[in-house]
Amino acid sequence: MKINKSLKVLFTLNSIFVFGGSLFGPLYAIYVQGLDNKIVTVSLSWAVFMISSTVFMYFVSKYGDKVKEQEYLLAGGFLVRAIAWLGYLFVTNVTGLIVVQIILGLGEALGTPAWNAIFAKHLDGHKEIMDYSNWNIINNLLVALSTILGGVLVTYFGFSVLFLAMSMLALVSFVGTLLTPRRVL
């Protein structure tokens, strides 16, 4: 797998983040049912995340290209999602969950378009399918591994440890993005 230096750095930073976020994976439904034993609450809270990320993404689409350093949007997305994941520690009811899902939507809206833009900027000419495939191979393996690990963490240590691990990994990506020289990303 031949990848240019900028994509290696971007893949590494995002891999740490994706690994953290994927620890939760399908456990989200179990977590939500622990708050409210109604299946519809899982669907509703996930819909709130999707709608809020869509609304926030609309504003990012209007103003994001005016941000000189897109890396700061990416870093902001990592940070906001780390805060949201920590927020799960304090959720005791559906209203609190909805608030966290809205914050998570903001993080998604900041980080995902920025990551896509930075990725597109560093694509190797005439090897775009290879670059996208390389990322998807990495992403799929990370999600598979972290989903298993997430289940192990929750089984033996509970959701609190899971949320702390997720937040710490997102913070590593945040700091790593800030410390990476702009000429690399």
List, in sequence order, the alpha helices (H) in the chain. Answer: 5-22, 27-35, 39-63, 70-87, 94-121, 128-157, 159-179
**Inter-CA distances, 137 with 32, 58, 134, 180, Å:** 30, 29, 5, 24
**pLDDT tens, residue by residue, 35-45:** 998 999 999 99
**pLDDT tens, residue by residue, 7-32:** 999 999 999 999 999 999 999 999 99
Average pLDDT over residues 92-109: 98
* pLDDT above 70 (res 100): yes
What CATH number does the domain located at 5-179 have?
1.20.1250.20
> Using CA atoms, how far apart are residues 44 and 98, in angstroms rounded to an integer?
9
**pLDDT tens, residue by residue, 128-140:** 999 999 999 999 9
